[in-house]
């Protein structure tokens, strides 16, 4: 009787599984993949380790962008040959503006490819078969949705175009003013980032979105003023100084809010969008500080 109640040996249990073709799902075999990466969740809902990895990715991408921009800007400042090339090929400057604008908007507004793949799997789970899963899922995804590789390609084009345009814009500014602006921008960025990441200065999400609304409004006003003075022959020294201070304040607050919203509104896999947003804040902050120092030097 006791022999009947004993469980089958381990080898016999394995053979029974193989006889019935029992297969463990791929998702269950990937025990080393955190569950957070399998669903559309914000970074704030993830574990601490995943948040740290996401932050490392964001600031690694941002560091490469800033380093690329810095290297080209220094070359444009010190190389007479490069300055002559830029002056003789102003069409490249206009092309750089167009490319940076298109790639920036594409990265920022393109829907997430993972959402379409998830919808396809939910609507038709059999479509993800081993033979035709990738091709079947790709047919229902719009062309403008970017894969991870496509995002990196567009980000590279954006960074190169932005570096070229920035270097072309500052190549005739005195080097001491540019270096001072870089130092001040670095100090401000580090200070604002540390404040935003610390819990002492955390802002409620509703308040952050309200501030974001007013920042966007201020940015539109600044763009309108800049375009108006462009057709009026340029700004005077005092107006240029005032415009620089307003820009410095606006983009400093932008940097603070964007740094906090990274972990509240962004999803896993959107580190490229986060790096792009922070990069734009830092570059515009640098240009505003450079404008202030130029105007002060002229005065």
Q: Which of 220, 216, 291 is nearest to 258 (CA)?
A: 216
What would the pLDDT profile of 234-278 be if each residue is shown by its tens digit? 777 788 888 889 999 999 999 999 998 887 778 888 899 999 999
Question: Higher confidence at residue 145 or residue 4?
Answer: 145
pTM for the full model?
Answer: 0.79
Give the chain's length: 299
β-pair partners for 42: 267
Q: What pLDDT, on a 0 to 100 scale, did the predictor assign at position 22?
A: 45
Asked whether the predicted pLDDT for residue 26 surpasses 80, the reply is no
Which pair of structure tokens corresponds to residue 159?
């960074």
**Which among 188, 162, 161 has a CA at the least distance from the CA of 289?**
188
According to DSSP, residue 249 is labeled: H
* Other Cβ atoms closer than 10 A to 62: 18
**pLDDT at res. 238:** 81
How many degrees, rounded to 5, is the angle at CA 185 between CA 182 and CA 191? 140
pLDDT of residue 157: 97
Q: Which two tokens stand for residue 100?
A: 């940076």
- pLDDT single digits (tens) 158-204: 999 999 999 999 999 999 999 999 999 999 999 999 998 887 888 88
Confidence at 83, pLDDT banded by 50, 70, 90: very high
């Amino acid at each position: 009787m006791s022999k009947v109640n004993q469980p089958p040996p381990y080898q016999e249990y394995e053979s029974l599984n193989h006889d019935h073709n029992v297969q463990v799902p791929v998702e269950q075999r990937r025990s080393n993949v955190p569950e957070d990466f399998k669903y559309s969740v914000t970074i704030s809902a993830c574990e601490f380790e995943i948040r740290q990895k996401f932050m490392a990715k964001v600031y690694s991408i941002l560091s490469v962008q800033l380093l690329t921009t810095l290297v080209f800007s220094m070359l444009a400042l010190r190389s007479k040959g490069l300055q002559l090339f830029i002056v003789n090929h102003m069409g490249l400057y206009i092309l750089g503006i167009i490319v940076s604008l298109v790639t920036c908007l594409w990265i920022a507004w393109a829907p997430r490819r993972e959402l379409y793949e998830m919808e396809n799997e939910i609507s038709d789970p059999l479509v993800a078969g081993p033979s035709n899963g990738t091709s079947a899922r790709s047919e229902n995804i719009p062309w403008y949705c970017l894969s991870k590789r496509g995002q990196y390609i567009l980000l590279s084009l954006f960074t190169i175009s932005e570096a070229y345009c920035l270097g072309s814009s500052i190549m005739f500014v005195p080097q001491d003013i540019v270096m001072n602006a870089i130092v001040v921008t670095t100090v401000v960025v580090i200070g604002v980032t540390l404040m935003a990441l610390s819990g002492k200065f955390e802002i409620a999400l509703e308040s952050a979105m309200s501030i974001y609304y007013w920042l966007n409004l201020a940015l539109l006003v600044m763009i309108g003023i800049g375009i108006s003075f462009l057709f009026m022959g340029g700004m005077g020294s005092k107006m240029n100084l005032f415009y620089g201070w307003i820009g410095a304040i606006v983009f400093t607050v932008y940097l603070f809010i964007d740094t906090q919203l990274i972990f509240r509104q962004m999803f896993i896999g959107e580190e490229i969008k986060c790096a792009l947003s922070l990069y734009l804040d830092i570059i515009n902050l640098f240009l505003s500080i450079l404008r202030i120092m130029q105007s002060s030097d002229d005065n």
